[in-house]
Amino acid sequence: MSPSKKIILSGARPTGRLHLGNYTGALENWVALQKDYRCYFMVADWHVLTTDYEHTAEIPPNTREMVTDWISAGLDPETSTIFVQSHVREHAELYLLLAMLVTTARLERNPTLKEQVRDLEMDQGEGVSYGHLGYPVLQAADILIYRAHVVPVGEDQLPHIEITRELARKFNRLYGDVFPVPEGKLTRFARFPGLDGRRMSKSLGNTIELADSPEVIQTKIKTAFTDPQRKRRSDPGRPEVCLIYTYWQKFRPERAPEIYEGCTTAKLGCVDCKRMVGEAIAEFLAPLRDKRRELESTPGAVDEVIRDGDEKARSAARSTMDAVRERMHVG
């Protein structure tokens, strides 16, 4: 890792095997960022507890599956630090200290919290735990403890980064400069359609997983929605409203013009179009599946990556906490 490169922190809750939406929404971008930044990629297991503290048994297997997908997709443990949040206890200490610098009113105004409350049908007064309200502060600790300069985010996360920036500025003003004020870096292909046209999401059951075999991909793609107005094979289609065409644009863009022409002139039928896009996706995912197979055939390989990453992350976090304690005259 070059010390002159800027630092990036990004993370994801351990959700188990990843799907194409996770890939296009974050992972693909992370892989590309490794070239230009020193990257910390965090399994955000404590973050799971903010909304799902009753179901924790799945966290370790989900962590392993997700990290397997991360490495299979091209995250390189030699150059990037891949670690688990809860294995670096210093996050909790910084979280506590930063929590003193923010008001509850500021956290209650967080639009992401309001959206979550609405989506999960919670009651903002009674249903939101102290930890859930403080989630952006934990996120700020995650970022600041590595003195990250850049945080890749989706649009919905931008308000959280704002809280991180406010906390960094406030800390630096009160106690002296310790933290860079990080920038949010918007990811490009944030929303990716699932097989039913809604956002691809595990909870909606509309995913294609990175580890799916070509046969499974074909079975799933047969169920995908297409242009609802194309009732007969002889009707021309409208690729611009068809999610299969979005898949073509993403996975085989060089064939998209030919598909567009075939669809709009009714020379190409949906059954063939879907079969071909299924083949294109399977081909795209083949190197990832090979890498996964290789990792799975070496017992303990993924755990070792995590152990090494934890160690590197701890060392950086300890050095930040030494500076924080000294400046704050605590600890």
Closest CA to 282 of 212, 195, 201, 207: 212
Distant-in-sequence, close-in-space partners of 240: CB < 8 Å, separation ≥ 6: none
What is the DSSP code string of 87-133? G-THHHHHHHHHHTTS-HHHHHT-HHHHHHHHHTT--TTTTS-HHHH
**Closest approach of ligand SF4 to the CB of residue 229, in Å:** 9
Q: Rounded distance, CA 208 to CA 213, Å?
A: 10
At 249, which helix (H) or strand (E)? helix 243-251
Stretch of residues binding ligand SF4 (CB under 6 A), selected from 10-18, 125-133, 236-244, 282-290: 236-244
Candidate list 34, 62, 226, 320; residue touching ligand SF4; CB under 6 A:
226
Q: How many CB atoms lie within 10 A of CB 307?
A: 13
**Closest approach of ligand SF4 to the CB of residue 239, in Å:** 4
Name the residue nearer to ligand SF4 (CB basis): 189 or 260: 260
Stretch of residues binding ligand SF4 (CB under 6 A), selected from 48-56, 83-91, 93-101, 237-245: 237-245
Q: Which residues pair with 185 in a beta bridge?
A: 152
**Closest approach of ligand SF4 to the CB of residue 264, in Å:** 8
**Closest approach of ligand SF4 to the CB of residue 225, in Å:** 9
**Closest approach of ligand SF4 to the CB of residue 207, in Å:** 18
Residue 323 touches ligand SF4, criterion: CB under 6 A: no
Tokens read off for 245: 């065409």
Tokens read off for 99: 């929590």
By CB under 6 A, what part of segment 241-300 binds ligand SF4? 242, 244-245, 259, 263, 268, 270, 273-274
By CB under 6 A, what part of segment 49-78 binds ligand SF4? none
Instruction: Please answer whether residues 62 and 154 qualify as being in contact, where contact means their C-beta atoms are separated by less than 8 angstroms.
Output: no
Which residues contact ligand SF4 by CB under 6 A? 226-227, 230, 237, 239, 242, 244-245, 259, 263, 268, 270, 273-274
